[in-house]
Copies of this chain bind each other. A is one copy, B any other.
Amino acid sequence: MSHRSMLTAIVIDVPGEQRPDEVAFWSGATGKDFVRLHYPEYHGARLTSTLVMLVQELGEGAPRVHLDLHTDDVDAEVARLTALGASEVERRPDWAVMRDPAGLPFCVVRARPGELDDGPAITWP
């Protein structure tokens, strides 16, 4: 059965004490209003019709940038990316944390219904 996926988000991870400055900076830099999301650790803004930018408050760890892929089938996408050389770090029903071949973390996240219907999402056989 086929599934779909697309790179949909750039996420800036920062410790809590740096969050306000980081939200203010990237809001100014991109000219987009970063608003607090339903999940309280995130602020976000839509940059284009297919790309959002998020600032996430990290519980621990140094600041970093990571990418999110959205998919209509997390299991299938995790399996596809594992076959390409990624490794699974943490798995939940609606998302997975993975590492690419260089060890960089990225996330695979269940898309909202209809999210991938339009735009440049790719269908994998």
Contacts and interface: CB of A to CB of B under 8 A. Distances in A.
Given A81-B29, A85-B21, A86-B25, A104 B64 contact: yes
Interface string A45-82: 00110110100000000011111010000000000010
B67 A65 contact: yes
Interface residues on A, range: 35 or more
Given A48-B51, A51-B51, A102-B21, A66 B63 contact: no
Nearest to A66: B65
Interface of A: 7, 10, 12, 14-15, 18, 21-22, 24-26, 28-31, 47-48, 50-51, 53, 63-67, 69, 81, 84-86, 100-104, 119-120, 122, 124
